[in-house]
Structure formats: structure tokens, C-alpha cells
Structure 1
Amino acid sequence: MPVPGPTPLAGAALLCLLFGLLFLALQVRAIFSAQLQQEYVGLVLEAVERADAVRATALSLQDTPAGDTQHRAAYREARIELAARLAALHALITSSPMAAPPLPMSALSPATALGEASGALDSAYAYWRTERDRASADVRERILSVSHTLIALSAIVFGVLITALGMYAKRNRQLLGISNEFEHASLHDPMTGLPNRRKLFAALEGAANALASGMRGSARIAVLYIDLDGFKRVNDTHGHRIGDEFLIAVSRRFRQTVRGGDMVARIGGDEFALLVRDYSSDGELAAIAQRIIACVGETDAQMGLSIVRASIGIASFPDRVNDYWRLVAAADETMYTVKRNGKNGYAFASASA
């Protein structure tokens, strides 16, 4: 099953975030609305409590004997004040931003029976207490919902960040791999896999710098320039496919023959160069050249050609060549000397090269 790319994932995450933010906005708005309702309910209940205090006074004076004029006057005043409190409560209820049952108009008159006024007050108290509890529960529920939504959105954002970092790291690895492939291709021969001329000269400069800084025990470096004698006849006689197979096979033998610290490179066509570091004597260079010649002969014999041999020119720095940049050119010139003198051999560059 294909894995979704970064664009669909980012789109889905953005959509979830937008929906989440919209839900949060609606919840926050509802919380503010519920809090306003709570405050209004609180005002109504305060008005109910004030009316209830006056009702308690009226109830305490209700059974006053008719002859007790002072208490009867106090009772009438209490009834008038209760009616006023109920009228104020009625006005507050009718101004409520939410639908609520109003007080009966008959309960607002001082002449109304105390029982009817008291019943209306009890009904109002019961209703608005229920509204207070409902609003409080609604606020708690919405706050809990907001907290859960924030946790979910945080998880989404964290997941998107982790996914983005993972994709970024993966993309970087891919780009690094492509960059390494390009770098390898720019420094190696595509057919044989050997280093090319550019990599050879970079390695030559590194070896010369290491020699100059005293990082190596040896005081000399050398280049062996190798030309395959008779290779053109392989292409002409057997075709380029056989010629390519020969180059690949002989390159494989070169890699197996050279020492670990040395580098064999394909300069172009049927020409190769070997950079030798840390050698002890000309005899060691001669032994290396003989092994290279043997590699060419063994490859030729294995493929049944009886055509290809090798001519090798050897130049060393600083004893024979005083400028390491001329090592390859000096070894190339010496190789042509070998070809003119019969081929299939090697020779050292003169000290004046």
C-alpha cells in the first residue's frame, strides 16, 4: 500500500487544525454565553432572596390579632414591600436574555393573598436554581471539551512536526545519496569503476601535501603510466564489446594487484596511471610494474586474444621530477620511450624530466 506523500498529510493536518480551531471558537463563545447566563441567574436569585426575606417578615406578622394595630401596620408595610420586590423580580425576569416563565401578574399586587405571592416566589426560586445548576454544568462540560480539543490539536501539531522532520530527514538522506552518487560519478570511470583523471590528480596533490608536511615516513611518491599495446587491434578485430570486456577485466586485476594505499586510475581509452605512495626503492617500483605487465598478459591469455601487452613509464618525485604536477606527464613521456624501444616493458624517467 503506497504511503501518502507530504502534501496530502499536510493538507489533512491543516484541515483537522482548521476544524479544531473552529470548534474551539464555538466552544469559547458558548462558554462566555453560559457565564453571562450564570451571572444573570445570580442576579435573579439575589432578587429572589431579597423578596424571600421580606416574605419571611410578612409571614411572621400574618397572624397578628386585629387589635394589635402596630403589628398590623407592620404587616401591611411588609406586604407592600413584598409586592415591590416581586415587581422588581418580575421586571428582571422579563428582561432575561433567555426565555423564562414570568411571575403571575396577580402576585404583584399587595392585595393578593400572601399564599399566592409566596407560591409564585417559590416557583421562581425553584426554576432559577435549576437554571443555575444547568448553566454551571454546561460551562464545566464545555471547558472539558475545550481541554480535550486542545490536547487533540497539540497531538496533531506534534504529529505533523514529527512527520515533517522525518520526511525532511528522509529527503536529506535521499539528496545526500544523490549528491554522493553524482560526486562518485564525477570522480570515477563509468565503465571500469576506476578513479578518473580528476580523482588521480586530487590524490596526487594530497600525497604531495602529506609528504611536504612530514605526515608520511617515505620521502618519495611515484606515478606509473600504463598504455595497453595492441588494444586498438582488439577493437578492430573482435569489436568494441570485446574491447570493453577486456578493459573491465584488466581493471579488476589492477585493483587486486596494487597495494592498499596506492591508486590505479583510468586516464582514458587504453591508458591507465598508478599512484604509488610510501615505496622504499626503485626495485619496489619495478616489481609493481612487472605485476601490472603480468596482469595485462594474464587477461589477454584468459580471453584468448594473444594481442595485448603493456608499456609502462615510471616517474618519481622529488628525485627524478622536481615538480609533482609533472609526474603524470613525465611518466607518459617515458611510456612512449618504452613503446619506441619495443613495447611490453617499463622504464624510469630520467632525472632531468
Structure 2
Amino acid sequence: MRFRPSPATVAVASLLCLLVGLVYLAMQIRTVFSDQLKQEYAGLVLETVERAESARDQVRVWQQLPVDHPADASGYRTARAELARRLASLDALMNASPSAVPQVMSSALSADANLTDTDNLLSNASSYWRAQRDANSADVRVRTIHIARTLIALAALLFCMLVTAVGMYAKRNRLLAGQSFEFERASLHDPMTGLPNRRKLLAALEEAAATPAHQASIQKIAVLYIDLDGFKQVNDSLGHRAGDEFLIAVSVRFRESVRKADVVARIGGDEFAVLIRTFSTEEELADIARRLIACVANTDAQMGIGHVRASIGIASFPDLVDDYRRLVAAADDAMYHVKRSGKNGYAFVTAAGRSAVS
């Protein structure tokens, strides 16, 4: 089974990764600040060591001078006192370190301490704190690289989340647009035959009747209203499945018998209508009506039924009907006139409102 995470799962996983990355970033930044403080502290200790070493150098100078004069002895004692003070400052600073460090021997802090012990103390302290400063500096560099990589990873994650969100939004919009199209199509088309319904026919009629601004004359349009004679017997004798198959087959023939610009609609039951967007003469409309009648007869013969025919009423605008909104009703009236006159034919609506049967 192939695992396909849902958008919510992807979003939660991305947010968790982002949260973990932010926590890790915060810890790294905190450690960097701590290492920088340790580095600065080591530098401060090293400065104190250097001052103590400078004081030790002064004592060494006084040691090399003869001590015959009392002033020389006083200078030597002063230098030893200054060295002891510097060593005391170094001891205090090292004892204040937040981490465990080597302790200074108390014997090395007195004014008369063995200078060899003092030299060892200063040498060890200098080596230790230089190593600490270098280690902290290296740790800061490493953690800075980690922070940079983490920021790059978080930026990439945010970019991926943004791209994913945009993709999900676009996919949802396409899905909604597709559903909207399907809903609109379902509301404007017959579900069984796929032909436009009455609502779609009236909208197309409204569009066809609108005269473009560049045309001076009114567009000539017509509606042919079709009713299937004897279709009820198909449902009664052969069943509704056979009736549905007949309607689907005849719908295909109707669609093939007119131009692509024309509209074939199923009004309901066994009634259809054809909107002719433009025509020249009534004979052209009559020829279309004869083709539609032949479609019904051919479908009836193909299915072996033997008694289904068609009655067609024709109304045109503006020749026979002065209001295009009355075309469907006028064509319907003409169709009923054909049915009363023997069926299986067509009739035009006359200018006076009467029907001429052919």
C-alpha cells in the first residue's frame, strides 16, 4: 500500500520540523554567547597573568642589582609587594571562574614566596588559559557554522512550506473550479442525454438575440420545437431502459444533423428544441425540420420499434414572432397544431399567429 500523506499531515510535520529547528537554533545561539563570555573571561585572566609576569620581570631586574644601598633593598621589596598584589588579583579572578580551574597555591601568593614557584604558577596559568581561550574560540566558530547551516535549513524548510502551501492552494482552487464547472454544467445540461436543458436554451436564445454593435440589422433566429409521437408506448411496452436508449440515440442524431453553432436542447421527457442561430429562408428551416424528422424515423427503424415519429413546430424572429422571448412558446403552439393535424410533420407559426402545416 502506497502511503500518501494528507495536507494536514504534511503541515503538522513541517511545523514540528520548524519548531525543532528553532529550538536547536536557540540552544546553539545560547551556547555561542556562553562561549564568547568564556573567551572574554580567558582573555581577562591572560591580561592579569601578563601584568603579573611584568611584575615578576621587575623583581628579576632588582635581583640582578647589588643590594649594598638601602634604596636598592627598598626597591626590591616594593617590587616583591607589587608581584604579590598582582598574584592576589590573579588568584581572585581565577577563583571567580564559573567553571573548575586549577587553583593557585597559597604559598606562591606571599611577598617572600619562592620565585621559582611563582614562575611555574605564571607559566601554567598562561598555558591553561590560552588553551581555554583557543578552545572557546574554536567552539564559537564551529557553532557559528552550525547556526548558519540551521538557518539555511530553516529557510529551505520555510520555502518548501510556502511552495507546498501555494501548491495546495492552487490544487484546491483547481478542484473547486472543476467542481464549480461540473455543478454549472449539471445545472445547464440534461443528465441522461448530455444535451443542454431549457435553462441553457433560454440563455443561448438571449445571447443569439443580442444584436452586435457593428451590425445594423437584427439577427434572424429560429426555434424548432420537437415532440416524439408514440414514444409513451416504448416505455409502456419495452420498458424505461429502452426508452432511455432511444432518447440517447436520437439526441446524438439531432446533434449531428445541425450545425455546431446551433443548440439542441432536451426540454423534458420526449420534447426537444433546436435553436438556429442564423438562417436565410424558411426553406432552410424546413430542410432542418425534415432532417430532424428523419433522425427520429431512422432511430426507430434501427431499434426495431416501428411507431415513433416526430411533430415539429417552427417559430422565427423577427419574421414570424416579433419578440424572441416568445419563440419557444410559439414553436410549442405550432408543434401542437401539427399533432392535431395528424402528427409526423412540421408547421411554421404564421405572422398572424396561425400555423401552416407541411
TM-score band, normalised by the shorter chain? over 0.9
The residue that corresponds to 1:333 in the other structure is: 333
Contact 1:218 1:278 in 2 (8 A): no
Q: Give the Cα–Cα distance (whole angstroms) in 1 for the partners of residues 308 and 136 of structure 2.
A: 100
1:257 matched to 2:257? The reply is: yes
Q: Give the alignment of 1:266-345 within 5 angstroms.
A: 266-345=266-345
Q: In the comparison of the two structures, how many residue pairs are matched?
A: 352
In structure 1, the partner of 2:194 is 193
Amino acid of the residue matched to residue 305 of structure 2?
Answer: L
Q: Report deviation, 1:61.
A: 2.1
Q: Secondary structure at the match of 1:62?
A: helix
Q: For the Cα contact (< 8 Å) 1:50–1:85, is it kept in 2?
A: yes
Identify the range of structure 1 (237-246 vs 312-321) with the bigger mean alpha-carbon deviation.
237-246
* Larger CA deviation: 235-244 vs 290-299: 235-244
Q: Which residue does the alignment assign to 1:67?
A: 68
Opposite residue 255 of structure 1, the aligned amino acid is R
Deviation at 1:188, TM superposition (A): 0.6
Do 2:209 and 2:219's aligned partners in 1 also have CA atoms closer than 8 Å? no
Tell me if structure 1 keeps the 8 A contact 2:39–2:136: yes
Q: For residue 87 of structure 1, what is the aligned residue in structure 2?
A: 88
| Superposed counterparts of 1:1-353, under 5 Å | 1-209=2-210, 211=211, 213-214=213-214, 219-353=219-353
Which aligned segments of 4 or more residues in structure 1 are displaced greater than 6 angstroms? none
Distance 1:126 1:290 in 2: 113
Cα distance in 2 between the residues matched to 1:207 and 1:213: 13
Unaligned runs of 5+ in 2: 354-358
Unaligned runs of 5+ in 1: none
Indicate if the aligned counterparts of 1:64 and 1:72 stay in contact, CA closer than 8 A.
no
Letter of the structure 2 residue corresponding to residue 305 of structure 1: I
CA contact 1:45–1:129 (8 Å) conserved in 2: yes
Counterparts of 2:129 and 2:163, CA distance in 1: 50
Q: What do the CA deviations read for 1:187-229 (whole angstroms, capped 9, x no partner)? A: 11111111100000000000011x3645597731000000111
Paired with 1:149 and 1:208, the residues of 2 have a C-alpha distance of 67
**Alpha-carbon distance in structure 2 between the residues aligned to 1:93 and 1:32:** 20
Distance 2:229 2:293 in 1: 11
Distance 1:220 1:308, change over 3 A: same
Residue identity (%): 60
Across the aligned residues of Structure 1 and Structure 2, the Cα RMSD in angstroms comes to 1.5
- AA paired with 1:25? A
SS in 2 for 1:66: coil
**CA distance 1:215–1:146, change in 2 (3 Å):** farther
Letter in 2 for 1:116: D
Q: Distance in 1 between matches of 2:313 and 2:259?
A: 18
Question: What is the CA distance between 1:76 and its match in structure 2?
Answer: 2.0
Q: Evaluate the alpha carbon distance shift between residue 24 and residue 344 of structure 1 in structure 2; reply closer, same or farther with a 3 A threshold.
A: same
User: Whole-Å Cα distance in 1 between the matches of residues 201 and 52 of structure 2?
Assistant: 104
Deviations along 1:119-168, whole A, 9 cap, x unmatched? 11111111111111111111111111111111111111111111121122
Alpha-carbon distance in structure 2 between the residues aligned to 1:267 and 1:54: 113
- 2: CA distance, partners of 1:214 / 1:345: 38
2:17 maps to a residue whose letter is C
CA distance in 1, matches of 2:291, 2:37: 97
Distance change (3 Å), C-alpha of 1:174 and 1:101? same
Counterparts in 2 of 1:322 and 1:75: CA distance versus 1, 3 Å:
same
Q: What's the secondary structure of 1:98's corresponding residue?
A: coil
Instruction: Encode CA deviations 1:302-343: one digit per residue, 9 max, x unaligned.
Output: 111110111110001111111111000000000011111111
The equivalent of 2:356 in structure 1 is: none
| Change in CA separation of 1:134 and 1:242 when aligned onto 2, cut-off 3 Å | same
Letter paired with 1:325: R
CA, structure 1 residues 182+216, in 2 after alignment: closer, same or farther (shift >3 Å)? farther
So what's the TM-score if we normalise by structure 1?
Answer: 0.96
1:19 alignment partner, SS class: helix
Answer yes or no: is the 8 Å Cα contact 2:208–2:219 preserved in 1.
Answer: no
User: Aligned in 2, Cα 1:22/1:216: closer, same or farther, shift over 3 Å?
Assistant: farther
Alpha-carbon distance between aligned partners in 2 of 1:34 and 1:163, rounded to the nearest angstrom: 38
Counterpart CA distance in 2 for 1:12 and 1:135 is 35
